[in-house]
Structure formats: C-alpha cells, structure tokens
C-alpha cells in the first residue's frame, strides 16, 4: 500500500513535498479511518493558493501526529461534519476565509465577521425551535460585565434550555493574515496577544515552531524556566476559575480568597520577568530572563504558601454540601459527546478523556518530567472545578522541583537568543503546547523565501465552545453562569 500520510513528532518540521497529495476519495477514506480511531483534529484548513486541503490529526495513545492533504476541485469538497462533528467549526472557517465549500455541511454559517465580509452582524441565521411555548433569550454581545463581545441565544421552554447557540467573532482581528510573510520584528509580540491570559502558552508554541524550522537547540536552563512560567500561568488561571465558580454559586469566602491568591500567582510571574502576564520573556531560542538563587528561593516560599492558601480556600467550598450539590448537578458533557466534538484540556479531562500534551507530546523540559494527568468522569461543573484543583497541586509540585534543579545548573555561559538561521524553505511545522485551557496548536507553512506562506493558530477555545453549548442542554437557564465559568473560554482566542 502506498503512503497515505506523513507521520511526524511534535515540534518537528518537514518539507511540504514529503506529504503525499491524495485524490479526495483516498483523503476521505484515510481521514475517516484516522478519526474513527479517536484521533483529534488538531488542525483542518485549506491552502487557497495551492488549492489544497490539510488535516493535522493527533492521537494521545501513541503520541503520533499525522498530516494528510488533498487537491480541491471546483472549490468544493464533501463535508466530514455529519460523520465527525469535531470538523464542523473547521469547515465553517474554511468556507468563510477561502470560499471553498464543504458540501452538505449541516449549518454553514459565519464563524467570525471579518472586515468587508458579506456576513454582517445581526444578519446571521439562528437555529429556531418551533412551538407556542418556546421562547428565545438573547444575551450579549454587549455584556453587563467587563468582558469581550459574544452573543448567546437560548431556545427555552419555561426555564429549561433546549438549545444554546453561541455567536462570536465580533472583534475579529485578522490575526493570521498579519502573519503572512513573517516572521519579523513584531511577530513574537503578536503571539503574546493571541489570547492575553494564555500569553506563555501561545508564545511557547510559536517559539518551538521557529526552533524546529531552524533546528535550534534550547539550553536546559531556558527549557526549565519556560516550563516554570507555563505552570505559573496555569496556576493563576485555575485558582481564578475556582474562585469565580464559588462566586457564581453565591459562596463568597472562596471567591474573595481566590481572587487575591490569583493575584499572588500573577505576581510570581512578575518576579521572573517584570510583568504579570509573561510578556517579552520567551523568545525563539530560549528566554530573555534568568533568576538568581535568591529569587528562586523567594519564589519557592511564595508558591508553597500560595498553594496552602488556595487549598484552604477551596476546601471551604468543597466541604460545603450545598455548594457541591449545586456544582455536581449541572453542566454535564458526556465522554462520548466530548470525544465527538473534539474537546480538549481540563474540560475534556473532566469528561474522562485522558489527554494532556505535556504527557502525550512532551517537549522541552516536559520530556524529563512526569506530570500526572488529572481527570474525572462525570463531566459536570464540579468535575471541571475539581480537575483544575488537582492540576494546580501538580503544577506547584512541578514548579518547586524545577526551581530546585535550576540551582544545580551552571548557566554562567549565556548563549545568544537571536536566531539568525533562516527558516527551512517550503516546509511545514506543527507545534502543540498544553496551555491552561488545553491544547494550543500552531501550524506554519513556509515559502521559498523562508517566510510564512500560511500560519494557522488554534486556541483550545476553538474546540470547546460547542462543549459549553452542550452543557446547557436540558438545564435551567440560571445554570448558564456556572457552566460558562467552568469552561472559561477565550473570545479573542477564538476570534483570531
């Protein structure tokens, strides 16, 4: 049998010509067989210039990444969504950005609203349930809180939600178009604002991708510090989420404590690089900052205290039967549904999917660490909170171990962090990173001038917004704030 796909490792680049070009029937058969075997569609996009369709599939069981591609005839291809729901948003994006149409897609509406788009805000169709006693409740895109714009349309019978439709893209930034013919002096700074509360995650994925395209080695010291920063980002956001869930459940003590503790974790990042979100610290080739023994010791003390205080604050909520009962009874996403729609991160693990890039596709310092994969099987709001509680504990333990390692590493010889080697020409590279929300996927295709011909970014929110919609099925509309906060997805990460 001839080769049907290209098998690569995480953060590996290959020449684009090494990926076989299949006819669509073969592409359909191969991709269907891959997805049936519980592969995640990490990236699915069209190259309009070459009239080609690419699928990047990852499997947590064997750590493999498969890339397949096909030629597109007449700007059309048969949709995969009816058999594999996880393809639905990818195919809608393909149609929106390239006008290449996935035929027989069940709901080919706009994902975003690019400038000069024919799809205008307010004109898009919404799914409707017919019936004399059915009513709609619209929330957003302008919200009472200081959050980004998103519209939520509830189809209700009384207080029961039968269907929630989520419309985003109101501030679409055209992010990926700005990356064509990059990298340049502003590219790394763009990556840091792909999703601001996941700065470390996105810039890590970008740096690893550049390093693979230039065959750059990163020092052990720099890899350790990168992983410390990534875990600090995870801790800060998980602590904030647990506190916010307590607030939405009306349990103020945990909310107030966690709000302050989240700030403490953000300040620990500032101790390393001078700002709380990790800007300008991770660069292709390494990191811009180092920490001395005094800072490492201070960090160890502060993070140990932060974990203790977080556990005490969370225990107040988890030991309260009324709050736990509220969280356990709502927002269920089954494992089968989570697999079908391609959920990732803590939300997927809370539904029983054992998938974590740090464990399944380790890179950098994670190749030498063993972080346990936290999971639950109930898929409820409580399960998502509990997984974040477990992960925070594992992350703090990991950080303390890595800070101890730094003391033993002689990093007196500073290597240059400026990469002068041009990117590999006519190549493709895939970089996966476990951000705090889940899998971050960056894919780059270079041209003959060692520049990006295409650059695709998939934030974990791209995979998980439909999970939020499913969590509201047959729930009371008053359960929405808790379900929403248990996912805590990124608007801007979706609206790239």
Same domain (yes/no): 318, 433: yes
Helix, strand or coil for residue 44? strand
Within this chain, do residues 185 and 63 fall inside the same structural domain, yes or no? Answer: no
Instruction: Classify residue 113: in a domain, yes or no.
Output: no
List the chain pLDDT tens, one digit each, 496 residues. 467 899 999 999 999 999 999 999 999 999 999 999 889 999 999 999 899 999 999 987 778 899 999 999 899 999 999 999 999 999 999 998 899 999 999 999 888 876 666 666 667 788 889 888 999 999 988 888 778 889 999 999 999 999 999 999 888 888 999 999 999 999 999 999 999 899 999 999 999 999 999 999 999 999 999 999 999 999 999 999 999 999 999 999 999 999 999 999 999 999 999 999 999 999 999 999 999 999 999 999 999 999 999 999 999 999 999 999 999 999 999 999 999 999 999 999 999 999 999 999 999 999 998 899 999 999 999 999 999 999 999 999 999 999 999 988 866 555 556 788 999 999 999 999 999 999 999 999 999 999 999 999 999 999 999 999 999 999 999 999 999 999 999 999 999 8
Do 90 and 212 have their domain in common? Answer: no
My answer on whether 265 and 388 are in the same domain is yes
Query: How is 49-91 classified by DSSP, letter by letter?
Result: TTTEEEEEEEETTTTEEEEEEEE-BTTEEE-STTT-GGGHHHH
Q: Coil, strand, or helix at residue 99?
A: coil
CATH no. for residue 26?
3.30.460.80
**CATH number, residue 254:** 1.10.645.10
Question: 362 and 226, same structural domain?
Answer: yes
Q: Is residue 122 domain-resident?
A: no
- Both 333 and 196 in one domain: the answer is yes
Quick one: 357 and 243 in the same domain? yes
Tally of domains in the chain: 2
Classify residue 232: in a domain, yes or no.
yes
SS3 107: coil
285 with 187, same domain: the answer is: yes
Q: Are residues 300 and 433 in the same domain?
A: yes
Does a structural domain hold residue 154? Answer: no
Give the global pTM: 0.96
Looking at the structure, tell me whether residues 92 and 187 fall in a common domain: no
Which of 49, 69, 103 is the last residue before a domain boundary? 103
Q: Which of 431, 370, 403 is nearest to 302 (CA)?
A: 403
In degrees, rounded to 5, the angle at the alpha carbon of residue 456 between the alpha carbons of residues 493 and 231 is: 50
The verdict on residue 263 lying in a domain is yes
Residue 330 counted as domain residue: yes
For residue 286, report the phi and psi dihedrals to the nearest 5 degrees: 160, -135
In a domain, 389, yes or no: yes
> Within this chain, do residues 78 and 225 fall inside the same structural domain, yes or no?
no
Domain that holds residue 439: 177-460
Q: Give domain status of residue 228, yes or no.
A: yes
Q: Which of 77, 103, 129 is the last residue of a domain?
A: 103
330 and 445, same domain (yes or no): yes
Alpha helices (runs of H) in 159-292, residue ranges in sequence order: 187-192, 199-214, 220-248, 252-273
């Amino acid at each position: 049998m001839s080769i049907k796909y290209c098998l690569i490792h995480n953060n590996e680049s290959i020449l684009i010509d090494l990926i076989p070009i299949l006819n669509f029937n073969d592409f359909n058969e191969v991709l269907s067989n891959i997805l049936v075997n519980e592969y995640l569609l990490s990236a699915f996009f069209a190259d309009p210039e070459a009239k080609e369709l690419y699928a990047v599939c990852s499997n947590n069981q064997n750590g493999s990444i498969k890339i397949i591609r096909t030629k597109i005839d007449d700007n059309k291809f048969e949709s995969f969504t009816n058999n594999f729901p996880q393809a639905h948003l990818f195919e809608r994006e393909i149609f929106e950005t390239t006008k290449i149409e996935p035929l027989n897609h069940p709901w080919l509406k706009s994902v975003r609203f690019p400038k000069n788009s024919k799809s205008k805000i307010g004109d898009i169709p919404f799914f409707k349930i017919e019936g004399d006693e059915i009513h709609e409740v619209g929330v957003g895109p302008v919200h009472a809180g200081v959050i980004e714009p998103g519209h939520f349309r509830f189809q209700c019978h009384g207080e029961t939600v039968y269907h929630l439709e989520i419309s985003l893209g109101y501030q679409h930034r055209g992010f990926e178009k700005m990356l064509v013919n990059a990298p340049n002096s502003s590219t790394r700074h763009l990556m840091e604002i792909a999703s601001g509360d996941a700065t470390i995650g996105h810039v890590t994925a970008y740096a690893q991708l550049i390093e693979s395209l230039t065959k750059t080695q990163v020092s052990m010291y720099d890899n350790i510090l990168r992983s410390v920063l990534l875990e600090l980002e995870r801790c800060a956001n998980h602590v904030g989420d647990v506190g916010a869930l307590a607030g939405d459940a009306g349990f103020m003590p945990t909310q107030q404590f966690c709000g302050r503790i989240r700030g403490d974790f953000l300040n620990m990042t500032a101790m390393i690089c001078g700002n709380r979100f990790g800007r300008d610290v991770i660069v292709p080739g390494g990191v811009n900052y180092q920490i001395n023994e005094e800072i490492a010791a201070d960090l160890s003390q502060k993070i140990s205290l932060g974990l203790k205080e977080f556990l005490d604050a969370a225990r107040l909520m988890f030991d309260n039967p009324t709050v736990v009962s509220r969280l356990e009874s709502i927002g269920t996403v089954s494992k089968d549904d989570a697999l079908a729609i391609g959920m990732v991160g803590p939300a997927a693990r809370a539904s029983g999917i054992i998938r974590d890039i740090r464990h399944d596709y380790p890179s950098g310092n994670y190749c030498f660490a063993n972080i346990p994969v936290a999971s639950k099987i109930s898929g409820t709001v409580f399960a998502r909170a509990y997984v974040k509680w477990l992960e925070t504990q594992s992350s703090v333990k990991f950080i303390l171990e890595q800070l101890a390692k730094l003391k033993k590493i002689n990093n007196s010889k500073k290597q240059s962090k400026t990469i002068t080697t041009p990117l590999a020409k006519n190549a493709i590279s895939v970089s996966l990173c476990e951000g705090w929300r889940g899998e971050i996927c960056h894919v780059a295709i270079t041209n003959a001038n060692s520049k990006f011909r295409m650059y695709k970014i998939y934030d974990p929110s791209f995979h998980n917004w439909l999970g939020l919609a499913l969590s509201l099925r047959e729930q009371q509309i008053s359960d929405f704030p808790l379900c929403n906060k248990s996912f805590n997805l990124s608007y801007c990460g979706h609206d790239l």
